[in-house]
Amino acid sequence: MSKLVPPHGGKGLVCCLLEGGALDAEKKKAAGLKQIEISSQEKGDLIMMGIGGFSPLNGFMGKADWKSVCEKLTLADGTFWPIPVMLATDEASVKAGEEIALVRNGTLMATMKVTEVFELSEAEKKSECEKVYKGEGPDSAEDKFWAVAMEDHPGVKMVMARQKHCLAGPVKVLSEGGFPEKFPGVYKRPAELRKEMDEKGWKNVAALQLRNPMHRSHEYLCKIAVEVMDGVVIHSLVGALKPGDIPAEVRVDAINTLVKHYFVDKNVIQAGYPLDMRYAGPREALLHATFRQNYGMNYLIVGRDHAGVGDFYGMFEAQVIFDNLPQNAVAGKNLLTQPLKIDWTFYCHKCDGMASLRTCPHTKDDRVILSGTKLRKMLSDGSPVPDHFGREEVLVILRKYYATLTEKVEVKMQQAASGSVM
């Protein structure tokens, strides 16, 4: 009997991925259907619905769910959900009741029974951006947000670029987009990861969300969790990131190296999931917790500026948002995965080790301020990496990657990453 937290929504794992004869039959049918090209983000969302990562969703959202998620953090039926999961197209001929095929760069990804076709006005898309992506940081100030968001916030740009016609309806997923082949042993479906954790006898499990290579702060966060949990899953995004971020295969190699040399193997699992980042800060922290519940993890490590970008969010806004979530009388509709809140962490020379604002009494002049953004900027600029910032075995891998780049993207430093607001 599993000791792990049950999947979100109270319906078990809702998996839309077809296999065997059902897959073959659906592929044949799809050949005769109208083809709709989908975006990279929609592809990742689709795969998550396929493997059960987005349980209880079985398709893209209609307007009632979109509105409720934006305004209330729930689907229209009261089930907790923090970020809209939308499908849009510029194809005006799609009608409700029609079956269509969803395609990404020539690969057949799914079929979909369209139950609703609707439009979101520019004002409605702006409202979504303000409710989902606007935070409490300086870039989100009333007089600044729209002046900088269309240039500097990837999530806002994606929403505002969304095509005119939104399509809702259940899907039958026909492909995992090459992730199992590209990341063997790392890419795991929720059922696979749950089985692995069940075999270890784990009950209380923390997830470390990762989109950057692990530096010393990530390592410290993980080890704090290992001390108080049955185990930790280093659960990294293997979907698409913004320009200037480090590719998934490089990050996976770096994590493998770090785990091999600095962790007790039986207490840690490395896994990957197929989403693109939205950079929605607090709302994305809630999404990360929601699908981690489906993977069997009842805690999510939430540190400084979780899933943030630029200076759009307060440093610990992603922790605070968990304190006042909507509660439904039906327990299964509520979010069960909780935040493991950890303060700003760094290396302190006077403490002679890793510490946090809760444990270190010294000044920022004594501290090595650690952040993924800062590490990427130093590596991209060819600057020396300070002692105690990262493990040398990992830095070797990252320097090798940066040496291959012929064109480098400028990495912008936000206030928190630089340590200027400590």
Spatial distance between the Cα atoms of 162 and 156, rounded to a whole number of angstroms: 10
Strands (E), 96-164: 99-104, 107-113, 116-119
Q: Which pair of tokens denotes residue 204?
A: 């209380």
> Quick one: residue 201, left, alpha or beta (phi over 0 = left, psi -120 to 50 = alpha)?
left
Residues with catalytic function: 211-212
Q: Phi first, then psi: what are they for 368, rounded to 5°?
A: -95, 110
Residue count (the chain): 422
DSSP characters over 327-381: --SSGGGS---EEEE---EEEETTTTEEEETTT--S-GGGEEE--HHHHHHHHHH
| Structural contact between residues 354 and 346, judged by C-beta atoms closer than 8 angstroms | yes
111 pairs with which residues across the strands?
A: 101, 172
Helix (H, G, I), strand (E, B) or coil at 269: strand
| Structural contact between residues 102 and 171, judged by C-beta atoms closer than 8 angstroms | yes
List of residues 6+ apart from 149 with CB closer than 8 A = 129, 133, 134, 139, 156, 157, 312
> Quick one: residue 370, left, alpha or beta (phi over 0 = left, psi -120 to 50 = alpha)?
beta
Helix 122-132 vs helix 63-72: angle between axes, to the nearest 10 degrees? 40
Spatial distance between the Cα atoms of 275 and 261, rounded to a whole number of angstroms: 28
Q: Which pair of tokens denotes residue 80?
A: 């907790």
